Chain A
Amino acid sequence: MATLEIRDLHVTVEADNATKEILKGVDLTVKQGETHAIMGPNGSGKSTLAYSLAGHPKYTITGGTVTLDGEDVLEMSVDERARAGLFLAMQYPVEVPGVSVSNFLRTSATAIRGEAPKLRLWVKEVKETMERLSMDPSFAERNVNEGFSGGEKKRHEILQLELLKPKIAILDETDSGLDVDALRVVSEGVNRVRETGEVGTLLITHYTRILRYIKPDYVHVFSGGRIVESGGAELADKLENEGYEAYTKGGASA
């Protein structure tokens, strides 16, 4: 069973000619089949955790370990991490002009699977997955994220999640900026992947709204660069009622 283990992770970022520590000792274990929600106020370091796990060059790991099934993730390049089974659905997916969605998806699937998918099966797979996400077929011919609406970008991220079938999926604020219909479609996509039981999900969000569609096994409250409280789904209800105030007062100044 695939397991992502994060131990005492410390991360800094360079900003305004100063080094700032954002993550201050994160401990978390995510196993295949589990869904963990990470919730926290703005600026608590949630997205830094997501991007650090994916290997974004902006972030410097200053301490701790991250392993996937015992393999050192921090030693891997960004593409190696993806091929090892880590997937990051981004909050702000970037435009890649000149590269069509269909070309991008196939190149990516070829890299992740280690061989080019058989064309006919692949075309069918993409078409069906797009239909389930209520995406128009013409989408495949557009350039990656170019001129996409916020909702289209998120659907495109979840389309990749469904096609690439990672071991660990990190969803960074996938719910932000979505209306209720889009949120439902996107959540259904995530749930289809979860129902296979083959993915461990790290759901990073600011709002409890998405948790009505995607039921987490564990909820962690993130504040001041670390997890300050962990619990079951009931912790989300508490946050819904009480907000983050109880955590930001003590936690953020630490």
Chain B
Amino acid sequence: MAEAQNIPVGSTTAGAVAVAAESTVATRMSAPPSFDVADFPVPHGREEEWRFTPLERLRGLHDGTAVATGEGVKVAVEAPEGVTVELVDRDDPRLGRAGTPVDRIAAQAYSAFEKAGVVTVPKETVLTEPIRIAVHGEGGLRYGHQVVELGAFAEAVVVIDHTGDAVLAANVDYILGDGAKLTVVSVQDWDDKAVHVAQHNALIGRDASFKSVVVTFGGDVVRLHPRVSYAGTGGEAELFGLYFTDAGQHQEHRLLVDHNVPHCKSNVVYKGALQGEAAHAVWIGDVLIEAQAEGTDTYEMNRNLVLTDGARVDSVPNLEIETGEIVGAGHASATGRFDDEQLFYLMARGIPADEARRLVVRGFFAELVQQIAVPDIEERLLARIETELEATV
């Protein structure tokens, strides 16, 4: 059930549980999923899926005026032995298998990319070192497509690291074979001007486990669409997210877990801290339990911590249940405020103001930081939280 606590001015938290004959998640989109950008009308901003997004700051990604620069965004893949790294043409059968673009920018990216990156971990290969994909912007505009495929019983950690200044629209597909285990850490550590819009599609094989950690710090506009569906029973998805939204930044995470197969699990935990004038975080959490998905076990949660006046959170968990034969389904959303009374309490115990704020924010993020499981990323993240806090107005 939805709960909302301590909602500061300028925040909304809404929740809905729909027992639907027809999916509202599907009907509230402007057009059905498609690989062709022409199937989507140019958004005007009032559509359900665009109403929170500042279209004027998307640099033309949404209306067809954004032209790829050819260079200015570099992608480098570093992979341990045994992993295949390829660049393939758009007719490669592995592309688009994990999911279909659900909005105009994802379809635009699919329609416009030139070569796709494919990283393959062969079956039963267990990697001890992460695969690292570094996307570094040097002022360019890029449409990208990346596939990560794990064969049956393969295990891998993938770190996708976004830095620099870029305008990037992309689709990222994760295909997990039966019994495979994939952890993906996607870090959005962009410079202030960057615009990043992407759809992540995970297709989880029978008894496979997928863990996604999305970490968003930088950028002018970041709009990510992590989506999960299952290819067989016994699949598990854990979707963790952590964002720190500063003055003027728009950071939007729109998740969908489609329980289309019986006896699968999903757990979604996203947490965000906001500070500064016009910092705007949007979290949409859609979970669909289809009629055939008996035995589903799902939970989703979004927590926001507002550190200063002027920040805004929109948090919308949405659970649609088409069968009652499930193990569990729940959702929660709450936005709290680090307020003057908490600050006073900690300071009255001798703790200086900046340390008090750090204590609260570190505590807030602690459980998620532990989920990252890639030590150098964890350290960088903690350091980045420190820097963000020092910049507090």
> Which of A82, A97, A143, A160 lies in contact with B347, CB distance below 8 A?
A82
CB contacts between A and B, total, < 8 Å: 77
Question: Would you list which residues of chain B between 53 and 85 have a CB under 8 Å from chain A?
Answer: none
Query: Is the CB–CB distance between A57 and B350 below 8 Å?
Result: no
Q: Across the interface, which residues of B come within 8 angstroms of A160, CB to CB?
A: 349
B392 at the interface (CB under 8 A from A): no
A75 at the interface (CB under 8 A from B): no
Query: Is the CB–CB distance between A108 and B350 below 8 Å?
Result: yes
Q: Across the interface, which residues of B come within 8 angstroms of A90, CB to CB?
A: 345, 348
- Interface stretch among A99-107, A177-185, A214-222, A235-243? A99-107
Give the contact-size bracket for chain B.
20 to 34
> Which of B344, B352, B361 lies in contact with A57, CB distance below 8 A?
B344
B341 at the interface (CB under 8 A from A): yes
A57 to B364, CA, bound (A): 25
Measured CB to CB, the closest approach of chain B to A18, in angstroms, equals 21
Question: Would you list which residues of chain A between 194 and 224 have a CB under 8 Å from chain B?
Answer: none
B292 at the interface (CB under 8 A from A): no
Residue of A54, A82, A97, A111 with most chain B CB atoms under a 10 A cut-off: A97
Query: Is the CB–CB distance between B350 and A99 below 8 Å?
Result: no
Query: Is the CB–CB distance between B363 and A107 below 8 Å?
Result: no
A88 at the interface (CB under 8 A from B): yes
Query: Is the CB–CB distance between B348 and A88 below 8 Å?
Result: yes
A105 to chain B: closest residue by CB: B349
Q: Across the interface, which residues of A come within 8 angstroms of B349, CB to CB?
A: 82, 104, 108, 111-112, 160, 164
A77 at the interface (CB under 8 A from B): yes
Q: Across the interface, which residues of A come within 8 angstroms of B336, CB to CB?
A: 97
Using known A-B contacts A57-B340, A96-B342, determine if residue A83 contacts B350 with beta carbons closer than 8 Å: yes
Question: Would you list which residues of chain A between 124 and 140 have a CB under 8 Å from chain B?
Answer: none
A98 at the interface (CB under 8 A from B): yes
Query: Is the CB–CB distance between A79 and B359 below 8 Å?
Result: no
A93 at the interface (CB under 8 A from B): yes
Q: Across the interface, which residues of B come within 8 angstroms of A104, CB to CB?
A: 346, 349, 359
Q: Across the interface, which residues of A come within 8 angstroms of B361, CB to CB?
A: 98
A77 to B356, CA, bound (A): 14
Measured CB to CB, the closest approach of chain B to A70, in angstroms, equals 20
Q: Across the interface, which residues of B come within 8 angstroms of A96, CB to CB?
A: 342, 345-346, 360
B42 at the interface (CB under 8 A from A): no
Give the contact-size bracket for chain A.
20 to 34
B18 at the interface (CB under 8 A from A): no
A74 to B341, CA, bound (A): 19
B87 at the interface (CB under 8 A from A): no
Query: Is the CB–CB distance between B348 and A103 below 8 Å?
Result: no
A1 at the interface (CB under 8 A from B): no
Q: Across the interface, which residues of A come within 8 angstroms of B359, CB to CB?
A: 99, 103-104, 107
B38 at the interface (CB under 8 A from A): no
Q: Across the interface, which residues of B come within 8 angstroms of A78, CB to CB?
A: 344, 347-348
B386 at the interface (CB under 8 A from A): no
> Which of A54, A79, A164 lies in contact with B353, CB distance below 8 A?
A79
A56 at the interface (CB under 8 A from B): yes
A94 at the interface (CB under 8 A from B): yes
Using known A-B contacts A93-B345, A96-B342, A97-B336, determine if residue A103 contacts B363 with beta carbons closer than 8 Å: yes
A160 to B348, CA, bound (A): 11
Query: Is the CB–CB distance between B363 and A98 below 8 Å?
Result: yes
Query: Is the CB–CB distance between B351 and A79 below 8 Å?
Result: yes
Q: Across the interface, which residues of A come within 8 angstroms of B26, CB to CB?
A: none
Query: Is the CB–CB distance between B366 and A98 below 8 Å?
Result: yes
Interface string of B334-377 (1 = CB under 8 A from A): 00100011101111111111010001111110100000000000
Query: Is the CB–CB distance between A111 and B352 below 8 Å?
Result: yes
Query: Is the CB–CB distance between B351 and A107 below 8 Å?
Result: yes
A73 to B253, CA, bound (A): 48
Query: Is the CB–CB distance between B347 and A79 below 8 Å?
Result: yes
Question: Would you list which residues of chain A between 79 and 94 have a CB under 8 Å from chain B?
Answer: 79, 81-83, 87-88, 90, 93-94
A113 to chain B: closest residue by CB: B350
Measured CB to CB, the closest approach of chain A to B59, in angstroms, equals 36
7 extra interchain contacts, Cβ-Cβ under 8 A, other than A97-B363, A98-B361, A107-B355? A79-B347, A82-B348, A94-B342, A95-B342, A99-B359, A104-B359, A164-B350
Task: Report, nearest first, the 7 A-B pairs whose CB atoms are least far apart.
Answer: A98-B363, A111-B350, A82-B350, A78-B347, A108-B349, A98-B364, A112-B350
